[in-house]
Amino acid sequence: MASYNLTGIGTQGLTAGTTRLFVSVTSFPGREKFGRANPTNYYDLGLLRAGVQGSFGATRDIDAALMFWDLPANTDTLGYSLFPGTNVTVSEGAPIGGTHQFGTTTIGGTGNDNVFTTFAFVKATSLPASNGTLSAIVGYLYAQGAAGLEVALYADSSNHPAGLISSTTTPVTPGATQSWFSVPLSASIVSGTQYWFGLRCTNAGVSVDIWVAYTSTTSGTELYTMPGSGSWPSSAAGATAAPGFRYSIYGTYS
């Protein structure tokens, strides 16, 4: 989870899976007002707004020198308007005992890559920190046309996708606006184990596809592909390397 130093007016993208913010006022404007609460409550410091896919909720006053804010589900952006002279540090967090992530939780800055008529196998770039149960696979992506998306979880064998662990069987259609999109999937997760995420577009064609954000990488092959359609293969041993891509894909578990 990340921290941000904010001043003025603007928006700040948040790490996927952020469910709580810790706000610390590091500089006061000198003309703020305060009330009778203990610890002291303040006025005229600034306002925050939680954003989900470009839409924003009600404002939240910055009314304490140290405060926390439990965010609405799927919040991906923080809007802020701070009075001149107010500086704050905002730190991301999640409730203790809540949902955890493994994989790439940052938005790729290189561009978007299309899945098209292949099975795509994406290496989880971080490992589960504890045993648990997978609840979803999440990607920063969008659908071109009425594209259907299915996901899967595969095991690893010597840094290559291997056997199928779990998969969806009914396609879902993401929105046309790129955002973090979650597809429910259940599987047992073992701490410290390497996994691969599977993606496929079930009806790819002209102007129908799934596009995923990625970052170029030279740290080993993190994407393998296999031509085909129909059900998920029981083994990805025949997939071929597509080096240079780090997809914005992660798993959530608890």
Q: Please, what is the average pLDDT of the chain? A: 91
Q: pLDDT, tens digit, for every residue of 6-15? A: 999 999 998 8
- Residue 134 and residue 56 share a domain: no
CA distances from 207 to 170, 211, 241 (A): 21, 11, 25
Task: Judge whether 165 and 194 are in contact, CB under 8 Å.
Answer: no
At which of 44, 61, 93 does a domain end?
93
Q: Which residues constitute the domain of residue 115?
A: 100-253
- Residue 108 and residue 89 share a domain: no
At which of 54, 72, 93 does a domain end?
93
Task: Identify the pLDDT of residue 3.
Answer: 84
Task: Identify the pLDDT of residue 74.
Answer: 78
> Which is nearest to 237 in space by CA: 174, 163, 179?
163
- Residue 86 and residue 143 share a domain: no
- How far apart (Å, rounded) are the C-alpha atoms in residues 161 and 153? 9
- Residue 74 and residue 118 share a domain: no
Task: Identify the pLDDT of residue 250.
Answer: 95
Q: pLDDT, tens digit, for every residue of 55-89? A: 898 999 999 888 988 888 778 899 999 999 999 99
The CATH number linked to 35 is 2.60.120
- Residue 124 and residue 86 share a domain: no
Q: pLDDT, tens digit, for every residue of 10-52? A: 999 988 778 889 899 999 998 889 888 888 889 999 999 999 8
Percentage of the chain beyond pLDDT 70 is: 98
At which of 40, 65, 93 does a domain end?
93
Task: Identify the pLDDT of residue 1.
Answer: 62
- Residue 139 and residue 79 share a domain: no
Task: Identify the pLDDT of residue 45.
Answer: 95
DSSP-derived 3-state class of residue 106? coil
- Residue 223 and residue 114 share a domain: yes
- How far apart (Å, rounded) are the C-alpha atoms in residues 156 and 162? 5
| Number of structural domains the chain divides into | 2
Task: Identify the pLDDT of residue 72.
Answer: 84
Task: Identify the pLDDT of residue 40.
Answer: 86
Task: Identify the pLDDT of residue 211.
Answer: 95
Question: How does 40-55 read in b/e, with b if 16+ C-beta sit within 10 Å?
Answer: eebeebbebbbbbeee
Task: Identify the pLDDT of residue 141.
Answer: 94
Q: pLDDT, tens digit, for every residue of 79-133? A: 999 999 999 999 887 555 567 899 998 899 999 999 999 999 999 999 998 899 9
- Residue 206 and residue 107 share a domain: yes
